């Protein structure tokens, strides 16, 4: 089972009306593409967190094709992410936090 399948199954198993899902490290939205529609069906909210520059522990590659770190790939990866969520009609439920995850966590409020 792939990571995408596992995350999609997890969200599907815990789906409920007005659910809130946060994905930390969205990169180009390949996972978001498959999971956000489930959240939308439940009239929920999707929080996407990424700095769109890749993973600092991986070598740089082609912008938008490699998950390796390259600060110059930000715009390419962010635009790919936005295109992916628009293609599945979920841009209206997604809040993008374009920043490192440790900064974004300060902005995300959790209701108990």
pLDDT in tens, 53-100: 988 888 887 766 678 888 888 999 999 999 999 999 999 999 999 999
* Alpha carbons 15 and 54: distance in angstroms, whole number: 29
For the stretch 8-50, pLDDT in tens is: 999 999 999 999 999 999 999 999 999 999 999 999 999 999 9
Residue 112 has a pLDDT of 46
Query: Which pLDDT value is given to residue 110?
Result: 67
Residues in contact with 64: Cβ distance below 8 Å, sequence separation at least 6, in sequence order: 28, 73, 76, 77, 80
Cα(108)–Cα(84) distance, integer angstroms: 23
């Amino acid at each position: 089972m792939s990571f995408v399948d596992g995350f999609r199954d997890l969200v599907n198993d815990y789906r409920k009306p007005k659910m809130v899902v946060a994905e930390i490290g969205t990169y180009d939205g390949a996972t978001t593409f498959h999971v956000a529609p489930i959240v939308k069906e439940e009239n929920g909210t999707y929080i996407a967190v990424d700095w769109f520059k890749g993973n600092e522990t991986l070598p740089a590659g082609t912008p938008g094709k490699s998950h390796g770190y390259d600060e110059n790939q930000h715009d390419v990866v962010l635009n790919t992410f936005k295109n992916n969520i628009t293609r599945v009609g979920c841009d209206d439920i997604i809040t993008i936090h374009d920043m490192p995850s440790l900064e974004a966590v300060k902005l995300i409020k959790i209701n108990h």
